[in-house]
Amino acid sequence: MRILILGGDGFCGWPTALYLSHKGHSVAILDNLIRREWDIELGANSLTPIAALNVRADAWEKLSGRPLQIFIGDLQDYNFVSNAFQDFRPEAVVHFAEQRSAPYSMIDRSHAVFTQVNNVVGALNVLFAMREYTPDAHLIKLGTMGEYGTPNIDIEEGYLEIEHNGRKDVMPYPKQPGSFYHLSKVHDSHNILFACRIWGLRATDLNQGVVYNVDTEETNSEEALYNRFDYDGVFGTALNRFCAETAIGYPMTVHGVGGQTRGFIDIRDTVRCIEIAAMNPAAQGEMKVYNQFTEQWSVLQLAERVQSVAQQMGLHPEISHVENPRVEKEDHYYNAKHTKLIDLGLQPHLLTDETIHGLLEKAVRYRDRIKMDLFPARVRWS
Amino acid sequence: MRILILGGDGFCGWPTALYLSHKGHSVAILDNLIRREWDIELGANSLTPIAALNVRADAWEKLSGRPLQIFIGDLQDYNFVSNAFQDFRPEAVVHFAEQRSAPYSMIDRSHAVFTQVNNVVGALNVLFAMREYTPDAHLIKLGTMGEYGTPNIDIEEGYLEIEHNGRKDVMPYPKQPGSFYHLSKVHDSHNILFACRIWGLRATDLNQGVVYNVDTEETNSEEALYNRFDYDGVFGTALNRFCAETAIGYPMTVHGVGGQTRGFIDIRDTVRCIEIAAMNPAAQGEMKVYNQFTEQWSVLQLAERVQSVAQQMGLHPEISHVENPRVEKEDHYYNAKHTKLIDLGLQPHLLTDETIHGLLEKAVRYRDRIKMDLFPARVRWS
């Protein structure tokens, strides 16, 4: 299958590109490399060294014998998008190419506006390009579990049957996102559902949980293929950041009481979920929605898991409850459904001590690259 | 009260500005005059002659003795917005300043992108300016009944109590908007709810129905104060367009069977609803939502009402069922609640033959200005 990976240079996009290439698909990457620019803006870096896109793509071709076609440009530039679609003629389009950090979107007005315009216009341009050039292709769009917020009822997969005043309908699940970034994904979901409905496009919206772990079999096969390992307060996420902190004896930064419960997924399952979605395209006019995570954890539970494994490795992990920079509930009901991908064949990598051990080992190996002042989450919501 | 009317040169904004000024409020208008540019782009015009903003504002001051402060500029320009907020220090901000035509948003990709960026970024800039300069002010934001779509259950006012798997929550009412324009308003609603929640802003989101009639007592007091009367296929709406068509013997253009049912409101009630909202500000952190319409009609029913009045006037009205350019249900359940504004004191102008008579008279008086080729709705959804 010809699969175009939008954002294929990023944390989820790169391992997905290699995994699908390894599985025999014809893979192209479209990326504007802006994730690397945000590192420069924030003075941040990946804990692991990462090669330039052309270098890592060459390394992959040398290793696997499988080329990756590369399109460098911005989804907001429709001429560029048009040319890429006409050139590659994708059968599936995997869309990771959005600004994906909640704190980044909350830095100030211009970052909020940038995030929403970048994400919404990028996705609109993809929809229009699909309509124009590849109307039968399948859009696989990354959303986030954060679109749902933390309602007091069970979270379903995208749609909810509602009975009200004696009548029934199946409606889009009501969304209560918690940042300008999460809001941008809600905007996308509404736009995509509409495009499917009026133009007959096919789409699958994947509401992904927080991704942990870093490498897949493919990206781990040599250093030139390594995936990025974000540990900073803006792009780093719970479990991975805890491992980086522990590697240099910095206390794990749990926001508030740490009762915030979320869905989590191993990056090795992310790449497999994308494959499953691609193998099961939506019908014409349909927007499927899957909740893409495998387990629920509270932030404090994750810190305790890391603490336990780190102690066995002779490290001295501490947990520090720091002031929560976000406006969010720290103790709440949370029960989110996630059976659809399992039903389609996902065999989850549940969080093991071995996985945490591997992350801690990698963090210790590259500990000299860690800039400690990047750990604190300094962007405040209010 | 110091009230800033964003979009105060437009179809709803201008009569609202005069009404609130007449009621003794200190009113300022902020507008980039782009609605007049869209007429140029589309080769369209108002059926009634309308004066330039500075001319009509001067005429109002001369008539009423009450000045209108004017800020000419774009909500997407944050420096301009900042200066206006610091200068005027509004206590209430009425936000009409969005691209408000569904067909305009569906012309092509660039009009879709323009509509969403213009509306979303404009509203974001207003939220950030309120947070920075007038955190206690009250945002009165025009949404649309079209945000809800046509669900098979009753439409509530903004929120819905949902019982699911034995648990309950009050959630934002699920939205199923029918154009890129309507989608932009849904995006706004999500952004505003979030800003209220995390920053403690106050907002009232008014989901307005289709507005009919043209003038209020204030705008009708002399020709220099006349409101615009849109009759073209892009900006004209059902009842007003039917009157313009009938005035020159053009058959009323009903899309498809005409069973599309919507909420409608007289513009004299629009201005009163804004006043009611301003007099009843939301609490800090609250986003109130009212459905701002007074009656439900199907499009065909409206055409028949116009037909009946026109016949009494000796006109020869015809109804023509033309191909529906939109993707929408033409026969559907529709029951939308609209009690909150009534409870706060709105005394509706229900649709009378006299109102239709007045519209037909005005259309006949200015019939020489009508460009017949503007009637057909040529923008297709699919």
Query: Residues 67-106, chain B: which have Cβ within 8 Å of A?
Result: 78
pLDDT digits (tens, 9 = 90+) for A30-58: 999 999 999 999 999 999 999 999 999 99
How many angstroms separate the CA atoms of A173 and A193, rounded?
12
| Exposure on the CB side of residue B97, measured as CA atoms within 13 A | 33
In a domain, A323, yes or no: yes
The complex's ipTM works out to 0.98
In a domain, B382, yes or no: no
How many angstroms separate the CA atoms of A170 and A160, rounded?
6
- State the pLDDT at residue A197: 98
- State the CB neighbour count (10 A cutoff) for residue B41: 12
- State the pLDDT at residue B326: 96
In a domain, B253, yes or no: yes
Q: Is A173 on the interface with B (CB under 8 A)?
A: yes
A198 → closest Cβ in B168, B198, B381:
B381
Known catalytic residues of A are 144, 181, 185
Q: What is the dihedral of CA B127, B132, B135, B137, to 10 degrees?
A: -60
- State the pLDDT at residue B65: 98
Q: Is B165 on the interface with A (CB under 8 A)?
A: yes
User: In this structure, what CATH number is given to the domain that contains residue A136?
Assistant: 3.40.50.720
Token pair of A66, please? 């499988």
How many angstroms separate the CA atoms of B310 and B317, rounded?
6
For residue B196, which amino acid is it?
C
How many angstroms separate the CA atoms of A255 and A257, rounded?
6
In a domain, A350, yes or no: yes
Token pair of B2, please? 């110091």
The nearest CA of chain B is from the CA of A68 a distance in Å of 30
Could you tell me if residue B117 is left (phi over 0), alpha (psi between -120 and 50 degrees) or otherwise beta?
A: alpha
Tell me the sheet residues that pair with B47. Answer: none
In a domain, A380, yes or no: no
Instruction: Give residue B257's domain range.
Output: 2-374
Q: Which of B117, B131, B289 to mutate to test binding with chain A, by most A CBs within 10 Å of its CB?
A: B117
Distance of CA A233 to the CA centre of its chain: 16
In a domain, A92, yes or no: yes
Do the chains contact at B173 and A175, CB–CB below 8 Å?
no
How many angstroms separate the CA atoms of A194 and A199, rounded?
8
- State the CB neighbour count (10 A cutoff) for residue A52: 12
Per-residue pLDDT of chain A (382 residues; tens, 9 = 90+): 999 999 999 999 999 999 999 999 999 999 999 999 999 999 999 999 999 999 999 999 999 999 999 999 999 999 999 999 999 999 999 999 999 999 999 999 999 999 999 999 999 999 999 999 999 999 999 999 999 999 999 999 999 999 999 999 999 999 999 999 999 999 999 999 999 999 999 999 999 999 999 999 999 999 999 999 999 999 999 999 999 999 999 999 999 999 999 999 999 999 999 999 999 999 999 999 999 999 999 999 999 999 999 999 999 999 999 999 999 999 999 999 999 999 999 999 999 999 999 999 999 999 999 999 999 999 999 9
Nearest CA in chain A to B114: A121
In a domain, A381, yes or no: no
How many angstroms separate the CA atoms of A6 and A23, rounded?
18
Reported pTM: 0.98
Q: Which residues of chain B are within 8 Å of residue A200 when distances are taken between CB atoms? A: 382
Distances (CA, A) of A287 to A1, A94, B252, B328: 20, 14, 37, 18
Nearest CA in chain B to A159: B174
How many angstroms separate the CA atoms of B341 and B335, rounded?
17
Q: How many domains does chain B have?
A: 1
Q: How far apart are the first and last CA of chain A?
A: 46
Q: To the nearest whole percent, how much of chain A has pLDDT over 70?
A: 100
DSSP character for A11? Answer: T
| Exposure on the CB side of residue A12, measured as CA atoms within 13 A | 32
How many angstroms separate the CA atoms of A294 and A346, rounded?
9
In a domain, A30, yes or no: yes
